[in-house]
Amino acid sequence: MKISKLAKSRGATVQRMFNPFWDSIAVNAVKDLLVRPQTSQLMSDLLEMSVPDFLALTQSYTLPWLVMHKKTDVIKRISHARKDDDCLKVCLEISNLVPILAKLLQQEVPDTGQYVMRLLLAVAPGFKDFGLTDLLRMEPASIALHLLKAAGESDDEPKPKVFNHSRNLYLFLC
């Protein structure tokens, strides 16, 4: 009995230790889930949890990258891990939608709005019922916060990026 509690405590400690680094660790562990499942399995073993639990735990960190790279097969695995078969629901959950939109808005593309909607539709056709403005209005302050955080963590001079991304968000909301 004590060993079981100790093991769970160790898994939770390791999980907390990785908290500042989930955005890179989780993406690397999950991005090739179907071709190299051993990486996700090793992370799950380290955290003393199942792979589905690991996928559910890290979804807000991995989904932005997965959407940007149209990895629908892995997104479906996350949906199944959440005991939900709808990729749209997974992506529309606020804790996932905010980082997804923030990641997509950061990309240097000619038409940001078209780019974002094209990727969202590729992942979940149900996004056809939404306009980008509708999605951005769900949590504009949180999206802006994610953009500011990303700009601050960027190696480039953050001021022009913050201005461009904030301007894009403002233009979409007007």
CA distance linking residue 174 with residue 170, whole number of Å: 6
The residue among 127, 64, 137 whose CA lies nearest residue 101 is 64
pLDDT the model gives residue 41: 92
CA distance linking residue 139 with residue 126, whole number of Å: 19
For the entire predicted model, the pTM comes to 0.85
Domain ranges of the chain: 2-173
Distance separating the N- and C-terminal Cα atoms of the chain: 59
In a structure prediction context, what are the per-residue pLDDT tens digits for the chain, which is 174 residues long? 444 444 456 667 777 888 888 888 889 888 888 888 898 899 899 888 999 999 999 999 999 999 999 999 999 999 999 998 899 999 999 999 999 999 999 888 999 899 999 999 999 999 999 999 999 999 988 998 888 887 777 776 545 555 566 666 666 565
Q: Are 120 and 67 in contact (CB under 8 A)?
A: yes
CA-atom Rg of the chain in angstroms: 17
